Amino acid sequence: EFHGWSNEESELQKDLEEVKVLLEKATRKRVRDALTTEKSKIETEIKNKVQQKSQRKAELVDSEKPAAVVAPITTGYTVKISNYGWDQSDKFVKIYITLTGVHQIPTENVQVHFTERSFDLLVKNLNGKSYSMIVNNLLKPISVEGSSKKVKTDTVLILCRKKAENTRWDYLTQVEKECKEKEKPSYDTETDPSEGLMNVLKKIYEDGDDDMKRTINKAWVESREKQAKGDTEF
């Protein structure tokens, strides 16, 4: 049985109708894509609302049963997981996430979705909270069908199958690699930070036409003069 739409739902329903009408008229691919995305978003929202409603009804009906049976799908709030460890074998990159009691909840509450360069983990309903971890831009591509998860005592293990076996990953993600490599001092610690810029200028100078050379010379002379004066004009 269905008890009419709540206000929110009827608004969503109107949005959905309008998007459908626009989709029929739209001819540009980009516009159609945007509308299609929007359409599925609205549909998902409506579905969630309906689910929540039937859940609330179920809770009223089941209130005499033990509470555990009617625990709503997403209890409490979602906690972002930031602590994890990882290592690798020839074939896999393994990510270890410690979550106390995770082995005691139904396996289907632990969901992992892989793409070639990312994975996201969602653990639902663990001690009244959900836990999520999203890792985008993995350092190297992984094989989606070869990747999997295992739930062990207090631990979720995510196995990302390397696309290229026997290659070593120095970092888990591209971002981590870039951050770590920025932190490393360059090997020649004597060099002045402005050296890098000088080299770039030298290269532009060598490749440049006469105008470019004149401009660079002028800038060069001015900056040298400033340094000699010790920037007294500021």
pLDDT-derived band at 62, boundaries 50, 70, 90: low
pTM: 0.48
Q: What is the mean pLDDT of residues 18-40?
A: 88
Three-state SS at 210: helix
Strand 78-80 and strand 129-135: the pairing is parallel
Question: In Å, what is the CA distance from 49 to each residue of 44, 109, 182?
Answer: 9, 20, 46
Q: How far apart are CA 129 and CA 127, in angstroms?
A: 6
* Cross-strand pairs, 118: 115
SS3 16: helix
The 10s digit of each residue's pLDDT in 172-230 is 999 888 888 887 665 555 556 566 666 766 776 677 777 777 777 777 777 778 777 76
